[in-house]
Structure 1
Amino acid sequence: MPSLYIYSPSGAVRDRAAFRRAVRRLQAAGYEVAVDPAALARHQRFAGDDDARLAAIERAAASGADVALTTRGGYGLTRLLPRLPYDAIDAAACRGMSWVGLSDFTAFGLAVLAQRGTATWAGPAVMEDWAVDAPDDITTACFDDLAQGVGEGSGWRLPLSDLRAHPELAAGWRVEGAMLWGGNLSILAGLVGTPYLPSVDGGLLFLEDVGEHPYRIERMLTQLLLAGVLGRQKAILLGAFNRFALTPHDRGFRLETVVAWLRAQLPGVPVLTGLPFGHVPTKVVLPVGRPVDAMVEGRDALLFWG
């Protein structure tokens, strides 16, 4: 089985016992696991101060592992972007290392794509996916495929509401060689106007978020819309937006309202929902910064990168 290097570039690991349980699970699955010496460090809410977390990224790049896997997200990478060891990260990727993470890792993936054209992977994290009571079978299978170099694509079932909103999909829809990119909406929107947001035309942009009320989701989407990001894409793929609470004040304003509004702003750009990715147990692994083929057949949405 492949080798993993586990490191903490963002928030501090809060449950050390759960972390050790997750490491044992990965080892039991056959992985050769190396844990960064500062993986359990803590400084304020971070996994070490900025210098310590930068050093952990450098050790990950030099480790020679097949996969560099984050312990968790949280917050912390955005403040490191001007100092990331971009050349070392890119060199490791060129040697075959897969950089994998989600949530706050979006800042890392988009920055290295913008600065060096380096591709990374949006996928699971140690605490999110292996420290839980029962790791998800689909998530772990997708990660296994990536780690073994046999992953070729992914797919999901579209809700009927997508087909009603985009009747043109019924005749079949296909895009070839479009860059797949994106990640956490809050992190991505926060990079607008900086040199760390890639300029992608004709891409497939996937988005997810957690703990954000629908009006906040709409506000961030509006920022991307007004910045010209959304209108330049071939399609917008929406993953999970969860762990928020509606209030009586909303008076019917909900996530579906935001999706309908977004579609009205983007005539000719399909907005597809149900992508199995985000802060949910079942998530696929997605390449960030790689060309993919996409198609819709009936209610099946498919992505191919193999």
Structure 2
Amino acid sequence: MAHIYVYSPSGAVRDRAAFRRGIKRLRALGHEVEIDPDALASWQRFAGDDDTRLAAIGRAAASGADLALITRGGYGLTRLLPRLPWRQLARAAGKGTRFVGFSDFTTLQLGLLARHAAVTWAGPALCEGFGMASRSEGSGGPPGAVAESAPDEIMLACFDDLVQGVGEGTGWRLPASDLAALRGRSGRLAHQACLWGGNLTLVNSLLGTPWWPEIKHGVLFLEDVGEHPYRIERLLLQLQHAGVLARQKAVVLGQFTDYALGAHDRGYTLAKVVGHLRDALKIPVLTGLPFGHVPTKVLLPVGATVDLWVQGREALLLWGHLH
């Protein structure tokens, strides 16, 4: 199977049990898992100080692994941007190492796309993707006991496709609101467009910096966690006012989770945010992409050229040419 290098470029791993479960599950799938010596380092909220994490990123790039998988996201890569080994990372990607991660990892992915047009993969981290556990309730076990639950099947299938080099794309069922907004438009919405994006907050943090990828006629995918709809709208408006959104072929929204509406909102929901965005843009805005801070997560090639189709209620992102 695959040689997987596990390292920690961002936040410290606090859940050691999830880390062990993730390693165990990857090995049970037949993979050779190499663990970076500082994967469990801790300094303040980070997985080691800046020099420690930079060294870990360098070791991941030099590992020759088939996949370099982060342990978790959090925060930390933004402060490393001026010092990241961009050429070394690009060479490793060019030689076949597939860098996989999401959330804070968006920073490295878009910086690498801007600097070297290298393809990386938006996908699970070790702890949240492979190391999850569920608390057993009403099962007759002791209170608070932890029962292992298998990683999400769709995520596993997409991960296996990446390992085997056979993945050609992904698809999902569009909500009725998307079909109404498309007004009967179907077929190919984008052809040979650059797929880019990731965590919305991290995408915006790069705007106006040397690590911002100037993508035109692309497909921009976005997700976020713990952000109220008004903050999501504010971030989207920043991209709109900067002219970023209008230059794309389409915007694809993934999962926006872990927020709570209050009495003050009075019907102001995420759906209202999406509606406002659609009214302001002339390009398609699709929702429901199974990607974000959720168990069911597809893997997406950041920086690859893709075709985007709508067929009936199905949306399809295709990148079969990569293999």
Amino acid at match of 2:210: P
Instruction: Show structure 1 runs of 5+ residues with no match.
Output: none
CA distances 1:212-256 after superposition (whole Å, capped 9, x unpaired): 000000000011111111110000000000100000011111100
Alpha-carbon distance in structure 1 between the residues aligned to 2:63 and 2:7? 11
* 2:313 is the counterpart of 1:284: no
TM-score by length of 1: 0.98
Aligned residue for 2:274, secondary structure, equals helix
Aligned residue for 2:103, secondary structure, equals coil
TM-aligned CA deviation for residue 113 of structure 1: 0.5
Contact 2:169 2:316 in 1 (8 A): yes
Aligned residue for 1:121, secondary structure, equals strand
Amino acid at match of 1:300: E
Give 2:238's match in structure 1, choosing from 223, 226, 234.
223
Aligned to 1:98: 98
Aligned to 2:256: 241
TM-aligned CA deviation for residue 168 of structure 1: 3.8
Alpha-carbon distance in structure 1 between the residues aligned to 2:50 and 2:61? 17
Aligned residue for 2:268, secondary structure, equals coil
Alpha-carbon distance in structure 1 between the residues aligned to 2:179 and 2:194? 23
Matches within 5 A, 1:177-256: 177-256=192-271
Alpha-carbon distance in structure 2 between the residues aligned to 1:271 and 1:74? 28
CA RMSD of superposed structures (Å): 0.8
Greater shift after overlay, 129-138 or 95-104? 129-138
TM-score by length of 2: 0.93
* 2:124 is the counterpart of 1:108: no
* 2:170 is the counterpart of 1:154: yes
Contact 2:190 2:219 in 1 (8 A): no
Alpha-carbon distance in structure 2 between the residues aligned to 1:247 and 1:208? 21
Matches within 5 A, 1:19-98: 19-98=19-98
Alpha-carbon distance in structure 1 between the residues aligned to 2:36 and 2:300? 25
CA distances 1:274-294 after superposition (whole Å, capped 9, x unpaired): 000000110100000010111
Greater shift after overlay, 160-169 or 117-126? 160-169
Aligned residue for 1:104, secondary structure, equals helix
Paired residues in the alignment total: 304
* 2:161 is the counterpart of 1:145: yes
Alpha-carbon distance in structure 2 between the residues aligned to 1:287 and 1:123? 9
Alpha-carbon distance in structure 1 between the residues aligned to 2:188 and 2:318? 14
Give 1:164's match in structure 2, choosing from 157, 180, 184.
180
TM-aligned CA deviation for residue 173 of structure 1: 3.5
CA distances 1:175-211 after superposition (whole Å, capped 9, x unpaired): 2100000000000011111111100000000000000
Contact 2:189 2:250 in 1 (8 A): no
Identity %: 63
Amino acid at match of 1:2: A
Aligned residue for 1:196, secondary structure, equals coil
Aligned residue for 1:240, secondary structure, equals strand
TM-aligned CA deviation for residue 107 of structure 1: 0.2
Greater shift after overlay, 70-79 or 172-181? 172-181
Aligned to 2:277: 262
TM-aligned CA deviation for residue 15 of structure 1: 1.1
